[in-house]
Homo-oligomer: A and B are copies of this chain.
Amino acid sequence: MEDVAAAASVSIATISHVINGTRNVSDPVRERVLRAIDELGYEVNPIARNLRKGSSQIVGLVVSNLANYFYTDLAAGVESILRPAGYDTHIINSNESLERETRNVRDLALQSADGIILAPTGNDCSYLQDATFQNQPFVFVDRKPRRSGHDSVMSTNFKGSYEAVNHLLSKGHARIGFIASRSNETMMERFSGYRQALSDSGVAPEEELVLMGQDEPKTLKNLLRAERYSQLENYLETARPTGIFLGNGLAAVGVFQYLRDNGIRVPEDIALLSFDDEFWYQMSTPQISAVAQDPYQIGVVAAERLLKRMRGGTGKYRTIRIKTRLILRESC
C-alpha cells in the first residue's frame, strides 16, 4: 500500500478511499492511484482489512451431508443471495457427525464468520449456548433444534406428507406403512402428516405399520442394505401394507432393495412414495414417486434472513416454511 501511495504521490489514506469509494477523490488523483495499483499489481490484504473492520465477509454453511442434492442445491441458493451482497460462502461438511459439526461450527465462529447457516445433524444444538457463539447470527435450515432462539427455514413437512398419503389413499390403499430412517423433529412432522391423512380418511392408525428407528444417522454411501433392510421381512409379514410412505431417501434405499431382492413387485404388490427426491428415483425400475423439496429456495430464504440479521436487523425469530411438490412417477 505504501508503494502504491509513493508511486501515485499520495497518502495511503487516499489509496484506501479510492479502493473503497469511501470519500470523494479528485479525478486526476483517482486515476493516478488506479494506474499505480494496476502497475504494481497491488491487491488488498483481506486479513488486515478484516482485522480492522472486525468482520470477515465470510458466511459459513455447515451441512450434515454434502453427498446429497438437497444440500448442494441449498448451497447454490445461499450463494445466489450472499455473493451479490459481498459475502463468501464457505461450505463445511459434518458428515452426519455431531462431533464434527460442533468442531466445525466452533472453528467457523472463531474464524469470525460473520454469520452461519446450519443444517444440524441432530436435535441437540445445546453447544450453541456456549459464549463463543453469541457474536454472530445463526439461521437453521432443514431441521429446527428445540428452543433455538434463531430463525429456521424448512419444508412444509406436514403438508407434503399429508398430500402424499392422501394420494395413496385415493389410489385405494388402506394399509399404508410409514418407514423412516430415524426420528428427529423434522421426521415427526412428516409422521404427523401421515397420521392426519389417515385419520381424516377415517382409517385407524396401526402401530405395526410404522417402522421408524432411533438409529445412528448414516450416509447413503455406506448404507447399502443396512438401513431397515433386515427388519423388513418381519415388518412386511406382520403389517401387510399395500403401500408404503417413506419418510426420507435414506429409508428408501433399504426398502427398495429388499423388495427388489425378494421379487415383490412395485407398484403391483406394494406401492411406494417417498419424501425427498433422490436422483436415483429416476433411474430405478420402477421410477419412484416423491415429495420433492425446494432446497434452492430454502437456501435463498435462509440467506436473506441471515443477511438481515448480519445487518443488525432484530425482530422475532421465525420458522419459515417452503413448499414441497408431489412428483408422481411409476411406483404408485
Contact = CB atoms under 8 A, between A and B. Distances in A.
Interface string A88-110: 11111101000000000001001
Interface in A213-262: 220-221, 224, 253, 256-257, 260
Given A90-B90, A279-B221, A283-B284, A76 B47 contact: no
A43 interface: yes
Interface in A24-49: 41, 43-48
A330 B76 CA distance: 36
B47 A112 contact: yes
Interface string A42-62: 011111101100001010000
A224 B75 CA distance: 21
A184 interface: no
A68 to B, nearest CB: 8
Nearest to A67: B72
Interface in A122-164: 131-132
A229 to B, nearest CB: 13
Q: Could you say which interface size class chain A belongs to?
A: 35 or more
A47 B43 contact: no
A76 B96 CA distance: 12
Contacts of A67: 67, 69, 72
A292 B51 CA distance: 46
Contacts of A253: 283
A285 B285 contact: yes
Interface of A: 41, 43-48, 50-51, 56, 58, 66-67, 69, 72-73, 75-76, 88-93, 95, 107, 110-112, 131-132, 220-221, 224, 253, 256-257, 260, 279-280, 282-285
Given A43-B110, A47-B47, 10 more contacts: A45-B51, A45-B112, A51-B51, A58-B111, A69-B221, A75-B93, A90-B91, A224-B282, A279-B279, A283-B284
